[in-house]
């Protein structure tokens, strides 16, 4: 083959790999009391598939975990090499009435670890709320932690996970805390509303990068 023929040979196209979305969370993410396929991470996967987005959602939820537990576990979870990292934690801190200052410190340190280990990853923090039986002052302080941490760390704040589900008996299991099969699609919709633009932006950026690489290969 001559040099001219070699340079004119078609180059293989570059296809971006699927975005890896890792959700570090509690039993609300793990899908306590449900089939894994009915938990909101699996529903997010279906939504991404339907939207034509090349995404792989990793459910890294563990039942009963506090933000301190999430902090201890995050290094292990980051072995998944996330492109998008979603943090859902704090519900168990609130149920136990743990200090909001500790929650804030843990959230901040988790995000710092993600920034250090996966600097390219987009980070989203899910808003959580404390129950009313802990008093109005604790509720307000708990709520305010999330937007404050998101602003300080540059994370994207997602809506309250259980918006439209919390407190509604028909949408929750018998414990009144965990969504049932009717409530879980609402949870998924809450997350998807804010997560979809992030995924679309990341997918578009990857597509542009792949096209640039492909074009450079052809030019060579």
Enumerate the active-site residues. Answer: 27, 175, 178
First to last CA, the chain: 17
* Exposure on the CB side of residue 199, measured as CA atoms within 13 A: 24
Inter-CA distances, 84 with 35, 115, 172, 192, Å: 24, 11, 28, 13
- d(CA 71, CA 61) in angstroms, rounded, equals 13
- d(CA 111, CA 71) in angstroms, rounded, equals 9
Assign residue 52 a region (left: φ > 0; alpha: ψ between -120 and 50; beta: otherwise).
Answer: left
| Helical pair 100-117 and 136-153, crossing angle rounded to 10 deg | 20
Helical residues (DSSP H) of the chain, grouped into ranges = 3-8, 27-30, 40-50, 67-77, 91-95, 100-117, 136-153, 184-219
CA 102, 104, 146, 53 torsion-angle sign: negative
Q: Phi then psi for 118, rounded to 5 degrees?
A: -135, 70
Distance of CA 219 to the CA centre of its chain: 38
């Amino acid at each position: 083959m001559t040099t001219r023929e070699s340079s004119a040979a078609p180059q293989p196209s570059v296809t971006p790999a699927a975005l890896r979305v890792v959700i570090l969370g509690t039993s609300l993410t793990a899908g306590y009391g449900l089939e894994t396929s009915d938990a909101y991470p699996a529903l997010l996967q279906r939504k991404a598939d339907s939207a034509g987005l090349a995404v792989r959602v990793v459910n890294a939820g563990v039942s009963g975990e506090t933000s301190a537990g999430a902090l201890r576990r995050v290094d292990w979870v980051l072995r998944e090499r996330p492109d998008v990292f979603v943090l859902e934690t704090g519900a168990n801190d609130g149920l136990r009435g743990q200090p909001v200052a500790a929650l804030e410190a843990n959230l901040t340190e988790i995000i710092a670890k993600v920034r250090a280990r996966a600097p390219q990853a987009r980070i989203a923090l899910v808003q959580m709320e404390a129950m009313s039986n802990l008093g109005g002052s604790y509720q307000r302080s708990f709520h305010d932690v999330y937007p404050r941490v998101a602003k300080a760390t540059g994370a994207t704040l997602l809506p309250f996970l259980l918006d439209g589900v919390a407190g509604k008996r028909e949408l929750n299991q018998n414990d009144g805390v965990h969504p049932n099969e009717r409530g879980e699609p609402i949870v998924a919709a809450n997350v998807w509303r804010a997560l979809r633009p992030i995924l679309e932006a990341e997918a578009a950026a990857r597509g542009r990068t792949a096209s640039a690489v492909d074009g450079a290969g052809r030019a060579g």
